[in-house]
Structure 1
Amino acid sequence: MPNLPDPLPWPEAVAPDTTAFARQAILNLNRTIFGFELFDRSLAQGTHTSASDAALLFNVLSHAECEVLMQRKIIFINCTHDTLASGHLELVPPERVVLELPPLDAPQRDDVETHLMALTDIRRRGFRLAFDQSVLTEPHLSWRPLASFIKIDISHASESELSAWVQMARQNPKARLIAEKVETEAQFAMAQDLGFTLFQGYWFAKPILLSGKTVRPAQAAIIQLINLVRQQASTAQIEDVLKRDPTLSFNLLRFINSAGFGLKHEITSFRHAVMMLGLKKLFRWAALLLTTSQGAGTSPAVANLAVVRGRLMELLAADSLTPEECDNAFVVGVFSMLDTLLGMPLAQAIEAIALPDTVVDALLHKQGLLAPYLELTVACENADDAMFAKASATLKLSSQQVNWAHLQALSWTETLVD
C-alpha cells in the first residue's frame, strides 16, 4: 500500500451544480466486481432528467479519480428515454456504459414502438442497454432483442415465479441476467441455481450476522497485534507477534518496502520496520490488513467497501474533528463490516479488540460523535436520499463536499496493494 498524500482541498471546480453520486457493485459468479451502478445523489426530490443523466456521466467519466475508480469496470446508469435523443451521450464512450432504461407507464404505452427506434439507434452506436423484467411482458416485448442485460428483482418473488422469468429471458440468449436486490445468502444461492450470472444487492454490502465461527489464526494474530499497539506495548512484544506469524510479518515487510515509502535501503528487520512505522501507522496498517483478510466465502467487494467506508469517514471528519478522532473515524468505517468479514456478530468481533469508547458507541449503539459520519457513509453507498439529507445536515456538509470526499475515498482504496 503506497504512502498516500493528505486529502486534497475542496476543488474550486466543484460548483453548486456538481453531480454527487453513490455506487453499488454488480458482482459475477465468483463474487468479484463486474461493474458499478451509479446513483445520482444531487437530485432534488428525486427529479430525473436527460440533463441530470448527462451531468452524472460527464462528471464521473471526466474526473481523474474516477478514471482510477472505474478502470476496467463497466458503469451502469439509470437514464430517461429523453436522454437517448438529447445528444448528451455523444460526450461519453459507449464501451464504458450500460444504460438502464425504465418501462413506460400505462398512459405512454402507445409510444413503445416509437421508443423502439431510439433504442435501436443507441444500440447501433455501441451502447448496451439494461431493462427490468417488464421487458419480458407485453407491451415491451419488442424491446427484448435489444437487451444486453435484464435485471430481475428477486426480493419478493417466489422461486417458481423467478424460474418463469428466467425461461422468458432465455428467449434472448445474448442478454445476461442480473439478480437484483439480493438480500440473503439463500437468495444468492437460489439465483445461482436458476441461472443468474450477475448479482446486485445489500447482501454484498450490508453486514451478515453469523454465529458459531472462530477467528482464523491469521486474523487472531492481527487482533493480538492491534491490541498490543493500542496498549502501546514495547517493540519487543510487537516483534514477538510478528515472528510467530509468517504471513503477518511478510505483509508488513512488503508494505514498508513498497515504493510509496521511498526508502533508500530495504528493511528486513521486524524491529526496524516497527520503529520506522511508529505505533499510529502500524495500527492503521493492521486495521486494513484485518479488514482485507476476509474468511472463505466472503466477497472481495465487501472488503473493498469496508476500506472505502473508513477512508470516507476519515475525510468527512477532517475539517471538524481532532486528528485522533479522525483516526477513530477511519477505524469505525473499516470495522463496521467485521461481522461479515470474520463471520460472527459485530459485538463478538470487536469484543476481542481494545477500542476507544467513541468507536464502540458508533459501531454497536449507532450513537456518539462518530455515528453521523457512519450514517452518512452508508447513505452514500445505498442511495438512501432521506438518510443522506439527514446525516449531511447534521454534520453541516454539502453534497459537493461529500461527493468530493467520496471520490477521493474510492480512488484511494483502488490504489491499495492487494
Structure 2
Amino acid sequence: MSNAVLITREPVINKQYKITANRLIVHAATVARAVEGLQGLADVWPATHPVFISLYRLVPTPDLLEWKAPANAMVEIPSQAIAHPLTLSLIPRLQEAGISVNLTWYQPDTVVPPNVPWRFVIIDAKRQPLPADPPGLAIAWGLADVPEFRDAIAQGYDGASGWFFLRGVKTDGKLAPSHAQIVRLLSLVRRNAEVKEIENVLKQDVALSYKLLRYINSAGFGLMCEIQSFRHAVTILGYEKLHKWLSVLLISASRDPSAPALMQTAIARGRFMEKIGSAFFEKGELDNLFITGAFSMLHLLLGASLRSALEEMHLPPPIYDALVSGDGVYAPFLKLARALESFDEKQLATLADELHITPDEVNRAHLEALAFADSLQFG
C-alpha cells in the first residue's frame, strides 16, 4: 500500500464540547496522489460541518488546485511550509477559488503573508502558551485530557482539535436510572416482547419516546415515510432495527459535558463497522456491527464499567467478545474503526490489508460514517 491514500481524522471541539468540524489527515506519497484520493470521495463527503484538510507531512503545492474542493473544505497551511515558494503561490490561488485556509502549528514568531484571512489557527498548546494575537480563531492541539481542555478554554482558546475528550471522564461504575430504563427497553426488544409491554415502558418517560422517534426520522436513516409512534416503528422497521436505534438512544442519554463529542464518535465507529462489514456478513448481522462500534464507548458515556453495562443487555456473544475481550469475528473491524482515530496510517494500512479491504473502501466507509454521525445532531 506504499502508493495508497489513506485518511485518518480527529475532531474539532468547541467550547460547548460539541464537534463542530472534522479534521481529515490525508496520508499520501505526493500532493498529486492526495488529490486523486480526494477526488473519488465527492459523493460521500460529510457536508454538515467544516472539514479541515491536512496533507500531514507534505508541503502544500499548486497540485492541490486539481481537486474540486467541496464548499465546506478548508485547506491547512503548516507554518513550517509557509515560506516555501510553491506554498506561497498556492495560498492566493486558493483564495481566488473561494477555498478557506487555516494556519497550523502557529508560533508568535511565524511570519505570515499579508492579507490572508486565516479562518482557524491550530496551535500546539503543549509546547507554548496561547499567543497574544493569533491571526484567526485559536484551536488548541495536543491536549492530554478534559481538564486540559477546560484550562485551554479558560486561557482564551476558541476550541481544540484531538481526542482529549476520551480521557479524564470519571465513572462511578453504576448505571444512572435513565440509562437503566433504556437498558430495560433494549432487553424487551431483544426478546421480541409484545409491543404493548414496550409501549408501557416508553410511556413512563415521554422524552425517551420523543428522542427515539427523532433519531429514527433523521435524515441519516433515509426512511420514505415519517414514523409516528413506536407501534408504527415496529411495523415499518421490525425488532432488529429498533434494537439498533434504542442503542443510539442509550449512548445519547449521558449528561456528561463531553457527551456530544463522545456520542458522535461512537456513532461514527458503529456506522463505519456496519459499512465496511457489509462485504463480510449477512445483512441481518450488520446491525450487530453497528452496535459493537457504538457501544465501544459506553463506559465513557454512561459512567459505568463496560462489563456491568453489557451484562444487563444480554447481547449476542460476538458483540460482547469484541467489546470485553477484543476477540471474535467483530473484533478486527472494531480495531480498524479505532485506527481511523490516529495519525498512524501504517497501522491502518496493516489492519485493512489483513482484512483484504482496499484503501478506497476504507476511505469511503470512513467519510460515509462521518456524514451519518453528523446528521444526527447530538447535544
Q: Report if TM-score (shorter chain) is over 0.5.
A: yes
Aligned residue runs from structure 1 range 211-250, under 5 A: 211-212=171-172, 214-250=174-210
Partner of 1:9: none
2:144 alignment partner, SS class:
coil
Please tell me whether the aligned partners of residues 136 and 144 of structure 1 are also in contact (alpha carbons under 8 angstroms).
no
Map of 2:43 onto structure 1: 64
Is contact 1:339–1:345 with CA below 8 Å preserved after alignment?
A: yes
Q: Deviations over 1:364-408 (max 9, x none)?
A: 211221110000011123242232122212212111222222233
For the residue of structure 2 that corresponds to 1:347, the secondary structure is helix
Q: Secondary structure at the match of 1:136?
A: coil
2:55 aligns with 78
Q: Report matched runs for 1:176-255 at 5 Å.
A: 176-204=137-165, 206=166, 210-212=170-172, 214-253=174-213
Does the 8 A contact of 1:309 with 1:333 survive in 2?
A: yes
1:277-356 alignment, distance < 5 Å: 277-356=237-316
Aligned residues between the structures = 372
How far off is 1:209 after superposition? 5.5
Distance in 2 between residues matched to 1:271 and 1:87, nearest whole Å: 52
Counterpart position of 2:124? 153
- Three-state SS of the structure 1 residue aligned to 2:157 is coil
Amino acid at match of 2:35: A
Alpha-carbon spacing, 1:248–1:305, altered in 2? closer, same or farther (3 Å): same
| Residue in structure 2 matched with residue 11 of structure 1 by the alignment | none
The alpha carbon displacement at 1:228 in A equals 1.6
Please list the CA deviations of residues 178-216 of structure 1 after superposition, one character each: whole Å capped at 9, or x if unmatched: 111223112111211221112011123x36553226544
- Residue 96 of structure 2 corresponds to residue 136 of structure 1: no
Q: Unaligned 5+ residue runs, structure 1?
A: 1-15, 105-110
Say if 1:311 and 1:330, in contact at 8 Å, map to a contact too.
yes
Letter in 2 for 1:411: A
CA 1:316–1:91: 2 relative to 1, 3 Å? closer
Post-superposition CA distance 1:237-274 (Å, at most 9, x none) = 3222122221223344556678954459x755x55544
| Whole-angstrom distance in 2 between the partners of 1:202 and 1:253 | 30
Amino acid at match of 1:188: F
Partner Cα distance (2:147, 2:281) in 1: 41
> What TM-score, normalized by structure 1, do the two folds share?
0.76
Which stretch of structure 1 is more off in the superposition, 387-396 or 214-223? 214-223
Return the structure number with greater helix share. Answer: 1
- Consecutive unaligned residues in structure 2, runs of 5 or more: none
Residue in 2 that maps onto 1:21: 7
Cα separation, 2, equivalents of 1:144 and 1:351:
60
Could you say which residue in structure 2 is the equivalent of 1:108? none
Judging changes above 3 Å, is the alpha-carbon distance between structure 1 residues 183 and 222 closer, same or farther for their aligned structure 2 residues?
Answer: same
Any idea what SS the aligned residue of 1:381 has? Answer: coil
State the secondary structure of the residue aligned to 1:382: coil
| CA separation of 1:52 and 1:314: change in aligned 2, threshold 3 A | same
Partner of 1:51: 32
Contact 1:19 1:40 in 2 (8 A): yes
Residue matched to 2:365 = 405
| 2:373 match: secondary structure | helix
CA displacement 1:322-369 (0-9 Å, x = unmatched): 344433211110101112221233233323322122111111211221
Q: Does structure 1 residue 33 correspond to structure 2 residue 23?
A: no
Matched residues in 2 for 1:130 and 1:352: separation? 48
Kept after mapping to 1: 8 A contact 2:65/2:94? no
* 3-state SS of 2:9 partner: strand
CA distance in 1, matches of 2:276, 2:236: 28
Comparing 118-127 with 341-350, greater Cα deviation is found at: 118-127
Distance 1:296 1:378 in 2: 22
Taking a change above 3 Å as real, the CA distance of residues 287 and 50 of structure 1, as seen in their structure-2 partners, is same
Alpha-carbon deviation of 1:93? 6.5
Pick aligned residue for 1:118 from 89, 92, 101: 89
The 1:227–1:79 alpha-carbon spacing in structure 2 relative to 1, beyond 3 Å, is closer
Q: Is the 8 A contact 2:53 2:74 kept in 1?
A: yes
- Report Cα offsets for 1:300-342 as digits up to 9, x if no partner: 2321221111111112222222344433211110101112221
1-structure distance, mates of 2:249, 2:133? 46
Conserved in 2, the CA contact under 8 Å of 1:21 and 1:56?
Answer: no
Aligned residue identity for 2:101:
R
1:3 equivalent in structure 2: none
CA RMSD of aligned residues (A): 3.4
> In the alignment, is the contact (CA less than 8 A) between 1:116 and 1:142 conserved in 2?
no
CA distance in 2, matches of 1:142, 1:276: 57
Q: Secondary structure at the match of 1:392?
A: helix
State whether structure 2 residue 74 is matched by structure 1 residue 97. Answer: yes
Quick check: 1:28–1:34 contact (8 Å CA) kept in 2?
Answer: yes
Deviates more, 1:351-360 or 1:50-59: 50-59
Query: 1:332-411 maps to which residues of 2 (within 5 A)?
Result: 332-411=292-371
Matched residue type, 1:78:
L
Contact 1:210 1:345 in 2 (8 A): no
1:170 matches 2:119: no
**Larger Cα-atom Rg:** 1
Tell me if structure 1 keeps the 8 A contact 2:215–2:376. no
Query: Do the aligned partners of 1:24 and 1:36 also contact (CA within 8 Å) in 2?
Result: yes
Mean Cα deviation higher: 376-385 or 212-221? 212-221
